[in-house]
Structure formats: structure tokens, C-alpha cells
């Protein structure tokens, strides 16, 4: 089972790290909705939760009634919980390959083009005509910055419009080249290579473990 657990836990993380490497290697910053970013992270951790201390163990009665389909139900339940948690979060836009200072300069241009009364107060920005209030939050590591809503936006259309215009403006902005993406690439390719080696060396054991879960 150890080889099977290792592959299940490693492959989603490898794909996530490779995606981060691609985002950080782009010549322009990249903006993504915060809820989608949260869902992507949760999917990357699904394998870890499956094999870790919080492993997904279906009730015996459900396994008897549904057989191998119980794992599909567990996956759907996990995804529904993740979507629910993401919907409860504040509005957020995550911008990869940009620092808080770089994002603030771009956001200022976008804000003034959308709302003549846009005003900064420290790290917070108020766009009264758009019905949006937000602040800039930076990650401790890496070139990642977020625009976080101070509360539920008075106008969801205003928040979506801000996100759309910000993406357009970021596409015109050239990000300085950094080598930080190499760390994510090394993690991603290293994890993928390790999973591939284990898979080809222990194919029979992994196949037996897979059939075991299908026969639950």
C-alpha cells in the first residue's frame, strides 16, 4: 500500500507545483479568482488527505451498499465541501508574479479608469461608484499578491468588472524576470519523477492496492 499511497499523494502536488512554476515564469503577471485558486489548492491536497491522518474512510454500510462507487461519492462530497468553503470566503483576486508594490501601481491605473472617486487609504482602496472596497495582501514567500474585499461587495458586477479590467491591464505589464519559478519547477519535476520511478518499480503492488480499493 505504501507505494500506492505515495503515488496518489505525490501526483496532484507535482501538477500543482508545475502550474505554479508556469505562472511564475510568465513574462506578465497572472490574475485568478481567489475561489478558483482555493479550489486548485484543495484538489492538489486531495491525495495527501486520502493517505494522511485525515484519510477518507467511507462508512462500512456505505461501502457495502455502493461498492467501489463509494470512492466516487467521497470525491464528490469532498469537492462539494471545497466549493462551499470557497463560496464563504471574502471576494479575492490572486495575482501571481507580482509584488504588492507592482500590483498597487497597476491597480491605481485600473481604479481611476473605472471610478473617478477611487481613493487609497494606506493599503486599502475604496471605489464608491463601483461598490468595491479592498486591500492588498502579500504572501510571505514568492511574488504573489492578493486583492481582498473588506466585506461583501455592494455590487458583484462591480467586482467582476474590476477583475476583468485588471486582467487586461496586467496583460500589458511586463514582469521582471526572476528565477523563483525554478524552485517550483524543481519540486514539480522531482515529485513527478519520484512518482514515476515508484510506479514502474512497484507496478504490481500498486495494481493490487488499486484493485483492493475497487473491491471495497
Per-residue pLDDT, 97: 87
- Region 175-188: what's the mean pLDDT? 82
Residue of 88, 97, 1 whose CA lies nearest to 39: 88
Sheet holding 132-138, edge to edge: 30-33, 92-96, 144-149, 132-138, 124-127, 119-121
Q: Per residue in 55-91, is it b (16+ CB within 10 Å) or e — as a string?
A: eeeeeeeebeeeeeebbeebeeebeeebeeebeeeeb
Per-residue pLDDT, 57: 59
Per-residue pLDDT, 54: 46
Given a cut of 70, whether residue 154 has pLDDT beyond it is no
Distance CA 92, CA 163 (A): 9
Per-residue pLDDT, 150: 83
CATH 3.30.310.80 residue window(s) in the chain: 91-176
Distance CA 157, CA 162 (A): 9
**Residue predicted with more confidence, 83 or 141:** 83
Please give the DSSP secondary-structure letter assigned to residue 116.
T
Lowest-confidence range among 23-37, 99-113, 141-155? Answer: 141-155
Give the DSSP H or E segment for 177: none
CATH of domain 91-176: 3.30.310.80
Given a cut of 90, whether residue 19 has pLDDT beyond it is yes
Distance CA 37, CA 55 (A): 23
pTM (two decimals): 0.81
Residue of 43, 35, 38 whose CA lies nearest to 16: 43
Q: Per residue in 194-212, is it b (16+ CB within 10 Å) or e — as a string?
A: ebeebbeebeeebeebeee
Predicted confidence band of residue 38 (pLDDT cuts 50, 70, 90)? very high
Lowest-confidence range among 14-23, 47-56, 173-182? Answer: 47-56
How do beta strands 119-121 and 92-96 pair? Answer: unpaired
Amino acid at each position: 500500500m505504501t507505494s500506492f499511497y505515495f503515488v496518489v499523494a505525490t501526483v496532484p502536488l507535482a501538477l500543482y507545483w508545475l502550474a505554479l512554476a508556469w505562472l511564475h515564469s510568465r513574462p506578465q503577471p497572472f490574475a485568478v479568482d481567489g475561489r478558483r485558486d482555493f479550489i486548485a489548492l484543495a484538489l492538489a491536497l486531495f491525495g495527501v488527505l486520502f493517505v494522511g491522518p485525515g484519510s477518507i474512510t467511507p462508512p462500512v454500510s456505505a461501502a457495502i451498499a455502493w461498492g467501489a462507487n463509494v470512492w466516487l461519492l467521497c470525491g464528490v462530497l469532498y469537492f462539494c465541501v471545497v466549493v462551499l468553503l470557497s463560496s464563504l470566503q471574502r471576494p479575492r483576486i490572486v495575482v501571481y508574479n507580482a509584488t504588492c508594490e507592482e500590483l498597487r501601481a497597476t491597480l491605481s491605473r485600473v481604479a481611476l479608469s473605472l471610478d473617478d472617486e477611487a481613493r487609497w487609504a494606506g493599503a486599502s482602496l475604496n471605489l464608491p461608484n463601483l461598490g468595491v472596497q479592498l486591500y492588498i495582501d502579500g504572501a510571505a514567500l514568492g511574488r504573489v499578491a492578493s486583492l481582498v474585499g473588506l466585506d461583501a461587495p455592494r455590487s458583484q458586477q462591480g467586482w467582476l468588472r474590476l477583475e476583468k479590467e485588471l486582467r487586461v491591464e496586467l496583460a500589458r505589464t511586463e514582469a521582471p524576470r526572476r528565477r523563483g519559478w525554478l524552485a517550483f519547477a524543481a519540486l514539480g519535476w522531482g515529485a513527478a519523477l519520484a512518482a514515476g520511478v515508484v510506479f514502474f518499480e512497484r507496478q504490481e503492488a500498486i495494481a493490487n492496492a488499486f484493485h483492493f480499493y475497487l473491491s471495497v
